[in-house]
Amino acid sequence: MTAKTILIVDDEAAIREMIAVALEMSGYQTLEAENAQQAMALIVDRKPDLLLLDWMMPGTSGIELARRLKRDELTGSLPIIMLTAKADEDNMVQGLESGADDYISKPFSPRELVARLKSVLRRSRLTEPQDAIVVQGLKLDPVSHRVSIDDRSVDMGPTEFRLLQFFMTHQERAYSRGQLLDQVWGGNVYVEERTVDVHIRRLRKALGSGYDSLIQTVRGTGYRFSTRE
C-alpha cells in the first residue's frame, strides 16, 4: 500500500524536522512548508493525505488557512490536525470550529503525534465522499461539501456539516453527547459535552423551520436524526 503523505506547516524549521523524522520512521512520506502560501502550493500540486498545521505563523495564521481550506470544495475534505501552544478550552473549540479534525498542544511526544495522526486518517477513510444523501428534500453532498433544501443552498459551518453527515448516515438511532463527540470530533479531542449542544443549536438554526425538527432531543440520552414524530 502506498505510504500516506503528510504536509507539515510550521514556521520553525527545527519543529518541522523533528516531526518529519518521527513520521518517516513510522512509514509516512512528508512535505514541509514554512507558511500558508507554500502550504497552498503544495496542497494543489502534491495533494497530501493530511495536514499538520501550526496555529501561530507569521502572515496568514494556521486558523485562517484551515478555514480557507474547509470552505473550498476541492480541499474541504483534507484532514487537518492543529499544532499549538494554546491549551485552554476556548482555543481548542476555536481550532475545531475552523474545521480542524484534531488538536495537539505543544510540547507533544512523537509517539502521541503518530497515534493521533493514525486515528484521524482512519476516521477520514470511514467518511470518504459517498453518494449524496436526500431526506425529504434535504440533500447533503459529501463530494461538493454542500447542503441544500429543495435545491436552495443552506449555509453552515464545517462542524455542523460533519454533524449533519453523521446523523443522515445513522438515522433513527439515539446518540449520547459523548458518542457524538467520539464520532464527529474524534475520540482524542478533549472538549466538554456542552459543546455538542452548541453545535446542535447552530445546525437546527441553519436547517430552519420544517427541517430543524429532524434533529430530535432524546431526554436523558442525547440526540437522534429521525423523520418520525
**Coil, strand, or helix at residue 50?**
strand
Count of domains observed in the chain: 2
**Amino acid, single-letter form, for residue 183:** Q
121 and 175 share a domain? no
Residue where a domain terminates, one of 73, 96, 126: 126
Do 204 and 220 lie in one domain? The reply is yes
Residues 159 and 180 in one domain: yes
What residues contact residue 12 under an 8 Å CB cut-off, 6+ apart? 54
Least confident of 24-33, 122-131, 137-146, 158-167: 122-131
Q: What confidence tier does 186 reach under pLDDT thresholds 50, 70, 90?
A: low
Residue 188: pLDDT over 80: no
The pLDDT, as a whole number, for residue 126 is 52
Assess whether 49 and 109 both reside in one domain. yes
Mean pLDDT of the chain: 85
Model pLDDT, residue 97: 65
Domain residues for the domain of 192 are: 133-225
φ and ψ of 2, to 5 deg: -65, 135
Q: Residue 66 maps to which CATH number? A: 3.40.50.2300
Q: 67 with 139, same domain?
A: no
Q: Are residues 221 and 145 in the same domain?
A: yes
If asked whether residues 108 and 12 sit together in one domain, one would say yes
Q: Give the pLDDT mean for 72-90.
A: 76
pLDDT(191) > 60: yes
Predicted confidence (pLDDT) per residue in 8-38, tens digit: 999 999 999 999 999 999 999 999 999 999 9
Residue 205 shares a structural domain with residue 152: yes
Q: What pLDDT score does 90 carry?
A: 54
